[in-house]
A and B are shown apart, each in its own frame.
Chain A
Amino acid sequence: EAGVAQSPRYKIIEKRQSVAFWCNPISGHATLYWYQQILGQGPKLLIQFQNNGVVDDSQLPKDRFSAERLKGVDSTLKIQPAKLEDSAVYLCASSGGQARSYEQYFGPGTRLTVT
């Protein structure tokens, strides 16, 4: 079974520029998560989708971050405009049906550097 795919793996941008990350979850997984992992810290949930609806976006900085999951499959996370403090690894994860909803499977992440 193919894992969670993310692209790009690395991105360097200047502050005030915009950037987008893409995630394709494991086939059949209804729930998709975006996490932000700042160096030296654990992942922090930014947004959670169930199919194409938002379940939790309480920690998403909505003035600059946006995310969508059209058609309930792949997802895009966007930052516009970026700030220096957005430098982090952005992880996408997915989980499956009810019986397995406790297990989240993670992609390799996108490392963003804002200069």
Chain B
Amino acid sequence: AQSVTQLDSQVPVFEEAPVELRCNYSSSVSVYLFWYVQYPNQGLQLLLKYLSGSTLVKGINGFEAEFNKSQTSFHLRKPSVHISDTAEYFCAVNSGGSNYKLTFGKGTLLTVNP
């Protein structure tokens, strides 16, 4: 069985500060990892994904994440945040198999203050 733990339910930061949103996963097989962002009253939008290859993955809006297999982590980072980055962020894992099932974490609310 696969599971995802997002260690922080809320992360408040000031504008232009760096941010890291933490994600740890549990799976007995190779995984594919995703970060999604959800703005208020909207669906989920894919930020970035790790399928294979380089462990440092770059996504949209200046976000990046690093896959660390030994620590089973996939933390999301941005060097300088904007007010518009305020949203809920979800980490998700997909262990492949025949149905590509996604398991989501509970989410981290990032609030960027002026």
List residues of B whose CB falls within 8 A of some A CB.
4, 32, 34, 36, 41-46, 49, 51, 90, 92, 94, 98-102, 104-107
Contacts and interface: CB of A to CB of B under 8 A. Distances in A.
A31 B100 contact: yes
Interface of A: 4, 31, 33, 40-45, 48, 50, 55-56, 91, 93, 95, 101-109, 111
A90 B46 CA distance: 18
Contacts of A44: 104
Nearest to B102: A104
Contact of B44 (A41, A50, A91, A111): A91
B100 A45 contact: no
Contacts, number: 55
A45 B101 CA distance: 8
A12 to B, nearest CB: 15
9 contacts: A42-B90, A42-B106, A43-B102, A48-B99, A55-B98, A95-B100, A105-B46, A106-B45, A107-B43
B43 A108 contact: yes
Contact of B43 (A48, A91, A101, A102): A91
Contacts of B45: 106
